[in-house]
Structure 1
Amino acid sequence: MSRGSPPELLVLHAVRLKGFADDRALAARFALDEAATTETLLDLQAFGWVARSEFAGTGGWSLTDAGRAEGERRLAAELDACAGAGVVREVHRVFLPLNARLQRACTDWQLRPTPTDPLAANDHRDPAWDGRVVGELTDLGAELAGLTARLGALLARFGGYDARFAAALGRVRAGDVSWVDRTGADSCHTVWFELHEDLLATLGLARGAGA
């Protein structure tokens, strides 16, 4: 049976996954009550695990070094409690080559080399070029569904990555090309990057480990 996580851990982990976000976005990440999330954030701040700051007129929370270490400690304990380290390590191993494909697909979405400019921006006027990228993202979405199913059967907090990725890809197919790599929203790239961070945090690995 899929194991649930304590709300305090989910709030701390949401800050790790989002990097910098306000109370509403952090509560929404794991469908938590916003008022309770704010109270938890203030508690975490008192322990020195999160810090609030203003950036470009927007307020939000980020992890401190101590908070990052505390989060990884709690995630490791959770993983030990459900004896799931082997599953998550195997998913991470399978994920890495898929991650390389995702990065390449995003690069191809942003750039379309020409004979005179290898770094020419993709103007999205070539349906064959864009169609190939969307096809690759579709294949990656199918792979993601399998990985999410394995992870979600272990820990409930891993659920939903495949649905979020599919929703972003649906927007791309509907004509909004920004949803491949849009920042500040659940684009294909954002969701994929977040899963990568989730795996690294859960296993206590640095980004780039095993690549």
Structure 2
Amino acid sequence: MTARSAADLLVLHAVRLIGFGQTSAIAQRFGVDPGEAKELLLDAEAYGWVEHVAVAGDSGWTLTGRGRAEGERRLAEELDSVGGGEEVRDVHRAFLPLNALLLRACTDWQLRPAPGDRLAVNDHSDQVWDSRVVGELADIERALKPLAGRLGSVLDRFLGYDVRFSAALARVQAGEGSWVDRTDVDSCHRVWFELHEDLIATLGLDRRTEA
């Protein structure tokens, strides 16, 4: 049976994955009761693991360095307790080449080299170019499904990445191109970035040296 993470760990982990978010968003990320999430965030704040800050007129929770270290310690302990370390590491190894493809697809969605300008902005007038990128995202979607299933069989907090990616891709295929790489919605890029961060946090890796 897939293991369920403790609520306090889920809340702390949600802050890391979201980066900056209000209590409601943090609670929603893993389906924790909002009232319980608020109390757990206040407890985490007392320990110095999170802080409530104001940014550009908005306010929310963010992780501290101590919170990052505590989260990684707890995640490693959890992974060891369920005996899923090798499976998650194997999925991560399979994830890395897909990550390179996803980054290239997002770059190609943003840029379309032109004569004399390698960094020309993609104005999306070339349907062949854009269709190729969407096709590459569809290939990534197909490859993600079995990996997400393997992760979800270890810990249920991993469930849903493939569903969210598919939902974003469906919007792209329906003509909403901004769902490739927008940062303020559950776009393909945002879902993928979050999955990457989840794997890194769970395995105690550094993005700069993980390969």
Which bin holds the TM-score, normalised by the shorter protein?
over 0.9
Encode CA deviations 1:103-127: one digit per residue, 9 max, x unaligned: 0000000001111211111111111
1:101 to partner: Cα distance? 0.6
Cα distance in structure 2, aligned partners of 1:170 and 1:58: 30
The answer for the alignment partner of 1:52 in structure 2 is: 52
1:32 to partner: Cα distance? 1.6
Cα distance in structure 1, aligned partners of 2:64 and 2:208: 21
The answer for the alignment partner of 1:176 in structure 2 is: 176
Query: What aligned pairs does 1:1-211 form with structure 2 within 5 A after superposition?
Result: 1-211=1-211
**Equivalent AA in structure 2 for residue 195 of structure 1:** L
Can you give the 5+ residue segments of structure 1 that lack an aligned partner in the other structure?
A: none
Encode CA deviations 1:51-83: one digit per residue, 9 max, x unaligned: 110001110111111111110111011101111
Can you give the 5+ residue segments of structure 2 that lack an aligned partner in the other structure?
A: none
**Equivalent AA in structure 2 for residue 142 of structure 1:** R
1:208 to partner: Cα distance? 2.6
Q: What TM-score do the two structures reach when normalised by structure 1? A: 0.98
Cα distance in structure 1, aligned partners of 2:108 and 2:15: 30
Cα distance in structure 2, aligned partners of 1:184 and 1:5: 27
Cα distance in structure 1, aligned partners of 2:132 and 2:108: 9
Cα distance in structure 2, aligned partners of 1:98 and 1:175: 24
Encode CA deviations 1:96-147: one digit per residue, 9 max, x unaligned: 1110110000000000111121111111111111110000000101111111
Cα distance in structure 2, aligned partners of 1:69 and 1:184: 27
Cα distance in structure 2, aligned partners of 1:196 and 1:209: 13
1:33 to partner: Cα distance? 1.5
Q: What TM-score do the two structures reach when normalised by structure 2? A: 0.98
Large movers: runs of 4+ above 6 Å: none
**Equivalent AA in structure 1 for residue 37 of structure 2:** T
Cα distance in structure 2, aligned partners of 1:11 and 1:77: 16
**SS at 2:54 equivalent:** strand
Cα distance in structure 2, aligned partners of 1:30 and 1:207: 24
**SS at 2:73 equivalent:** helix
Cα distance in structure 1, aligned partners of 2:6 and 2:141: 29
